[in-house]
Amino acid sequence: MTSRRKFLTGAAAIPAATLAAPALAQGTIKWRMQTYAGPALAEHVIVPAINTFNAIAGDRMQIELYFADQLVPTGELFQAMQRGTIDAVQSDDDSMASPTEVTVFGGYFPLGLRYSLDVPVLFNQYGLDEIWKAEYEKVGVKHISAGSWDPCHFATKDPINSLEDLKGKRVFTFPTAGRFLTRFGVVPVTLPWEDIEVAVQTGELDGIAWSGITEDYTVGWADVTNYFLTNNISGAWIGHFFANMDRWNELPADLQQLLTLAMEQSHYYRQWWYWGGEASLRVNGPKMKLTSIPDEEWAQVEAAAEGFWDEIAAESETKAKVVNIFKQYNADMAKAGRPYRYG
């Protein structure tokens, strides 16, 4: 496991002197946060934000960060946070097994998003933020904020040039994405995040549908897969920051605001890091060959997603409300035309 020293002195874009650990006062508030991300990915998606917060908060408050599965398995993150074993979490709803009506929309809701900017617009202008906050308040958890990550593509050992090539492929992916992909013969496999690279090498997995190409390179998956499918299941991952409600309410208002600002800054960092990284690595990355499923064939996936959305909407009133927001948003973007939607 990567030590705490490593991630406190890691690749955060802040001078080391600024990050010198403060002399903690006796009354320092101490939180434990666990992220879904392993050490290499965490250096980008969370370490800079926590380092910044700790440096500014000083001896008033410090957050100790843990990586994927260090304290509890990712699938138990919600329960641990609800109990107060962990004070805060960075994750999507889906992989942390959130017991809410919005869980299926976290991570990668199939074909729901085209671009990363779709996420903040949906939450801040189309009403998803209010729905998420209300759903988590019911279960004693504070939903701090939502942001976008990378798109979801297949990284595989064998080339994928048609839907037929997907049949029988054992793929590490998210629960809801896996549920959708079974329609095309994909076999979803659940494993601990840190075991994925070895599972591909040993043949336990045929591929991964967990991220875009930036993560494939960052975490080492590009070293064990040979092909990258340019068609994506979703244009962005929806992830969140959460906190145990009691611990959140105990914080002074200015520390609540500071923590929220640090999280929002991390969302901005990821916007450009992923957006630029996806393009640069497709063009310049040496490790994976790009393949594509023809548009006319991929249209079958898009059509199946519409049916999948209706299936989800039929499960509850809240899910129907969220699906309707997704439908309205995508219809608005299509009407807006370029650059919001192409074709």
Instruction: Tell me the CATH number at 245.
Output: 3.40.190.170
Judgement on whether residues 136 and 82 belong to the same structural domain of the protein:
yes
Tell me which residue of 307, 330, 116, 148 sits closest to 240, measured CA to CA. 148
Strands (E) located in 88-221: 88-91, 141-148, 152-156, 170-173, 187-189, 207-211
- Whether residue 343 lies inside any domain: the answer is no
Judgement on whether residues 212 and 299 belong to the same structural domain of the protein:
yes
- Whether residue 129 lies inside any domain: the answer is yes
Judgement on whether residues 33 and 129 belong to the same structural domain of the protein:
yes
Judgement on whether residues 178 and 313 belong to the same structural domain of the protein:
yes
What's residue 79's pLDDT?
Answer: 97
- Whether residue 325 lies inside any domain: the answer is yes
Judgement on whether residues 258 and 271 belong to the same structural domain of the protein:
yes
- Whether residue 284 lies inside any domain: the answer is no
Residue 184 has pLDDT above 80, yes or no: yes
Judgement on whether residues 89 and 194 belong to the same structural domain of the protein:
no
pTM for the predicted model, two decimal places: 0.90
- Whether residue 130 lies inside any domain: the answer is yes
CA distance 189 to 83: 28
Judgement on whether residues 176 and 227 belong to the same structural domain of the protein:
yes
Cβ 228 vs Cβ 213: under 8 Å: yes
Cβ neighbours of residue 19 closer than 8 Å, sequence gap 6 or more: 8, 9, 12, 51, 54, 55
Q: For the chain, how many structural domains are there in total? A: 2
- Whether residue 341 lies inside any domain: the answer is no
- Whether residue 283 lies inside any domain: the answer is no
What's residue 26's pLDDT?
Answer: 73
Judgement on whether residues 220 and 246 belong to the same structural domain of the protein:
no
Q: Any idea which residue has 């500014």 for tokens?
A: 56
pLDDT digits (tens, 9 = 90+) for 219-277: 999 999 999 999 999 999 999 999 999 999 999 999 999 999 999 999 999 999 999 99
Residue 5 has pLDDT above 60, yes or no: no
Residue 115 has pLDDT above 50, yes or no: yes
